[in-house]
Structure 1
Amino acid sequence: MAAEENKKIVDAMYESMNLNQVGAMKKHWTRNMVWDGPAGIGKKHGVEQFEEEVRRPFIHAFPDKVGEDIVRLFEGDWVAGTGFQDATFAHDWLGIPGTGKRVRVRYMDFWRIEEEDGERKLAENFVLIDILGVLEQAGYDVKKVLQFVGSKPPEFFENISTQSQR
């Protein structure tokens, strides 16, 4: 029974997610939810921060995106899923220039569900997003990007961001 209830919770969240509207997720998440994303995006505390700092830029970059799990597993209060978000890369995302072309963004999610105000909701989400795959689809030679990044000390990139702010 718990697995079927958890499936309905995640299915309902996906319906709202695929509307591509900021604010549509609030009814599915606890107020103090934690979204723990990949490097470059980071951890977000609370549904408002998640909506503004994760969803808004993602929807802006990929306005017609549609996400769909291809595998979903259930264990107690946990649900795991992996799949794709297919979309047009319309605008910049994480500093990667939009291309106007279709992309497939791979992801993996682990959600924890808990009760809040008598209703079971998503409370925690560990997320892996294939950012390197997006770079590759945007035309970057990822091997060369990684070799370049790996050949520079972290201070090199701090200097770049400081210089670009001048």
Structure 2
Amino acid sequence: MGVGLFQAEKQLVRDYYAQLDAAVPTALDQVQDRFVAADYLWRGFHPFHEIRSAGAVAEAFWLPLKTALTSMQRRMDVFMAGQNTLEGHGGVWVVSMGHLMGLFDHPWLGIPPTGKMAMLRYCEFHRVVGDKIAETAMFFDIPHLMMQAGLQPFPPQTAAHLVQPGPMTHDGLMYDAQDPEQGRKTLAAIDHMVNDIKTWRDGIQEPLVEELRRSWNEDMIWWGPAGIGATYTIERYARQHSGPFRVGLTDRTFNGHICRIAEGHFGGFFGWPNLTLTPSGGFMGMPATNTPGDMRVIDIYRRDGDKLTENWIFIDLLHFWNMQGIDILARTTNIVSGHETGAQGNKP
């Protein structure tokens, strides 16, 4: 990784954001044509899934969202780029994470507007080829937006979900070139953590907190999605998320990642899906099933020293539970609009 190697790709995505965010609805197609490749692949959370043209992404996602969240602005907390380190994938990817904030003036996906500020938490991976964006993973926390609108899509969560801040160090916006050695250290810390999940993957008997301490600083923060929540310190993370997650989900298959990069003290990955698991009961207050479900996940990390210390997580929980026959989005929004009975709306 050479210093300044990714500056052209970063600038392309920054220019794309500037024009996309400023565009009126009728100009969205022109922005997409200017920056996005003809054979574009866009991956988004349920109910969007895969879309294979720039114009269709504008019509299905950006136009309705910008119509619903008026005066929308992008509030980024992390911006980085890097060469995909996964064998067989490659390419330069640019990553953005933060919130899309606006005035929630019109319905979106059946979620009722509030007329107040609302924030859609998002993370986006772009593969840049030449002067075009060829591929995008756009992950976003719809259940959190539902909660801001007064809905309760899930039973009470084990941790606490908030409008999540960016890095404690406030240095996640890496517009300038970074020291490649710092990126290598971050990637090594992420790889070590992924390969050291032994008590869950390999059935090794040891206290979970001991495994976690090999990869994480004691004051770690895990910024999880709505429905699970955020948790602070290794001990509370083990109790409030990692422990319940490992107990409540069985028949685990790791499907691999599509992209894994690092720059400076930050790094991350995404998969489509990362994991396939079967609920064995209790996870997120839901019953056991005999049905495997896919988890599409983005993880963004901040390293402090030799270990990881902050982790922002995006999981397509709507898709996962939809595969179990539970349509969280339709169930919750239909209750509000009066199209379901109370008894139907209260079933797990």
TM-score under structure 1 normalisation?
0.79
1:38-77 correspondence to structure 2 within 5 Å: 38-67=225-254, 68-77=256-265
**Rounded Cα–Cα distance in structure 2 between residues aligned with 1:103 and 1:121:** 31
2:189 matched to which residue of 1? 9
Q: Once the two structures are superposed, what CA deviation does each residue of 1:47-104 show, in whole Å capped at 9, x if it has no partner?
A: 1111111111110121342443321121210002112112222223112222122221
Task: Identify the structure with bigger relative contact order (alpha carbons < 8 Å, sequence gap 6+).
Answer: 1
**Could you say if the C-alpha distance between residues 149 and 130 of structure 1 is closer, same or farther in structure 2, counting changes exceeding 3 Å?**
farther
Contact between 2:318 and 2:327, CA under 8 Å: does it hold in 1? no
1:121 matched to which residue of 2? 307
What is the total number of aligned residue pairs between the two structures?
150
The structure carrying a bigger helix percent of its residues is 1
Q: Does 1:100 align with 2:290?
A: yes
Greater CA drift, 141-150 or 48-57: 141-150
Q: Does 1:90 align with 2:277?
A: no
Contact between 1:86 and 1:102, CA under 8 Å: does it hold in 2? yes
Percent of residue pairs bearing the same amino acid type:
25
**Rounded Cα–Cα distance in structure 2 between residues aligned with 1:145 and 1:42:** 21
Query: What 5-or-longer segments of structure 2 have no aligned partner?
Result: 1-180
TM-fit CA distance, 1:131? 1.2
Q: Does 1:79 align with 2:79?
A: no
2:221 matched to which residue of 1? 34
Contact between 1:109 and 1:127, CA under 8 Å: does it hold in 2? yes
Query: What 5-or-longer segments of structure 1 have no aligned partner?
Result: 161-166
Would you identify which runs of 4 or more consecutive aligned residues in structure 1 move more than 6 Å? none
**Could you say if the C-alpha distance between residues 45 and 140 of structure 1 is closer, same or farther in structure 2, counting changes exceeding 3 Å?**
same
**Rounded Cα–Cα distance in structure 1 between residues aligned with 2:329 and 2:260:** 31
1:130 matched to which residue of 2? 316
**Could you say if the C-alpha distance between residues 60 and 89 of structure 1 is closer, same or farther in structure 2, counting changes exceeding 3 Å?**
same
**Rounded Cα–Cα distance in structure 2 between residues aligned with 1:94 and 1:143:** 16
**Rounded Cα–Cα distance in structure 1 between residues aligned with 2:332 and 2:198:** 32
Q: Does 1:140 align with 2:326?
A: yes
Greater CA drift, 140-149 or 103-112: 140-149
**Could you say if the C-alpha distance between residues 2 and 31 of structure 1 is closer, same or farther in structure 2, counting changes exceeding 3 Å?**
same
Q: Tell me the amino acid that sits aligned with residue 44 of structure 1.
A: T
Greater CA drift, 122-131 or 55-64: 55-64
Contact between 2:268 and 2:301, CA under 8 Å: does it hold in 1? yes
**Rounded Cα–Cα distance in structure 1 between residues aligned with 2:244 and 2:335:** 24
Q: Once the two structures are superposed, what CA deviation does each residue of 1:13-68 show, in whole Å capped at 9, x if it has no partner?
A: 11223541733222110000111111122221101111111111110121342443
**Rounded Cα–Cα distance in structure 2 between residues aligned with 1:73 and 1:39:** 25
**Rounded Cα–Cα distance in structure 1 between residues aligned with 2:250 and 2:198:** 10
- Give the structure with higher Rg (CA): 2
Contact between 2:294 and 2:320, CA under 8 Å: does it hold in 1? yes
Specify the SS of the correspondent of 1:138: coil
Q: Tell me the amino acid that sits aligned with residue 148 of structure 1.
A: N
Q: Tell me the amino acid that sits aligned with residue 109 of structure 1.
A: D
Q: Tell me the amino acid that sits aligned with residue 95 of structure 1.
A: G
**Rounded Cα–Cα distance in structure 2 between residues aligned with 1:98 and 1:53:** 19
